[in-house]
Structure 1
């Protein structure tokens, strides 16, 4: 049951340039009923605190913190740094997800499940789908995430910092981490209607 999961916070990385979408914000893409941003926030609705890292004009609910990586467009590692700095210190775990995965809710369930009996020496878990590791589909012990990302992370690889942690892979069903990165993938998933620019 969801209420038996350890307390966690969530960071939604939503600040990329969306170059292959002609600059259309991925977060704004809708399937007719909800945007990718709303879908991502819904996937982590049970989090004690949710933080979105992206432009200051993103429409987020009142109970969601909005912050920005410094400098803007400096990459997902910098976004994680901004996110963890905005989080309360008390949550044991922090879920980190990218905003562009329509089926992310399925991954969240799998990640939360493994935290229930996580060995003390394991500092986090990341999803693997189609033999591809997905560091932006992960859940990490907050204190460890804060430790390795509390530095200059601008324009650097997320993996460079996560490799300092003792992590375990979580196998996910094929397609769960498929992202919307081009108009072709946007049309394929149905998230192809921008709600803002």
Structure 2
């Protein structure tokens, strides 16, 4: 497995930390008519491919969702319980999967943010500076699905009932800091109008 070093932050910050990465790709994509977000092609690659490629420095790469031909060979595929149970259920499934061999830090990303690679340096630097879990702050909002969590914080979610739980509720006991990231780096694709901003057209459009 590859490792990446981020300075020398000592025991409270990432320092020469190993981080695991979790990619959430198992939503219903109901506002896209059921077309999986992970399969949308932006810049010649699917959103799942783009997100995973941005995580080359992760020690372990866990993808939560269904099988996909776009998964890199090193990805560890898990499924949330119940399937399509929402992001809190997906994060919980990843935590359970990582429990036997966790890194000190876990980067959690939704797979529907085409520019997310622009936000990662700020998240890493923010964690190093604060020693705390950090969430991307972009356009006036905090993004819990673009965040670098201390394993000690994230491990607590494994004990919660996660069915239909929101991410905000899941993380209610986690102490975190907001980190400013480049504007638009966490812009996500929820609708076909969003997709068109990245050059993705709805199937059958214009016919």
2:187 maps to 178
1:45 partnered with 2:37: no
Secondary structure at the counterpart of residue 3 of structure 1: coil
Are residues 147 and 183 of structure 1, via their aligned partners in 2, closer, same or farther at CA, if it must alter by over 3 Å? same
**Structure 1 unmatched runs, 5+:** none
State the distance in 2 between where 1:142 and 1:171 align. 22
Pick 1 or 2: higher relative contact order, CA cutoff 8 A, min separation 6: 1
Secondary structure at the counterpart of residue 181 of structure 1: coil
Structure 1 segments of 4 or more deviating over 6 A?
A: none
- Structure 1 window deviating more from structure 2 (152-161 vs 184-193): it is 184-193
Number of residues paired by the alignment? 190
Larger Rg: 2
Q: TM-score, normalised by structure 1?
A: 0.89
1:108 maps to 120
- 1:78-117 aligned at under 5 Å gives the runs 78-87=89-98, 89-117=101-129
Secondary structure at the counterpart of residue 130 of structure 2: coil
1:187 partnered with 2:199: no
1:65 partnered with 2:76: yes
Using the TM superposition, give the Cα deviation of residue 149 of structure 1 relative to its aligned residue in structure 2, in angstroms.
3.5
Using the TM superposition, give the Cα deviation of residue 193 of structure 1 relative to its aligned residue in structure 2, in angstroms.
7.6
Q: TM-score, normalised by structure 2?
A: 0.85
Q: CA RMSD in A?
A: 1.8
Secondary structure at the counterpart of residue 73 of structure 1: coil
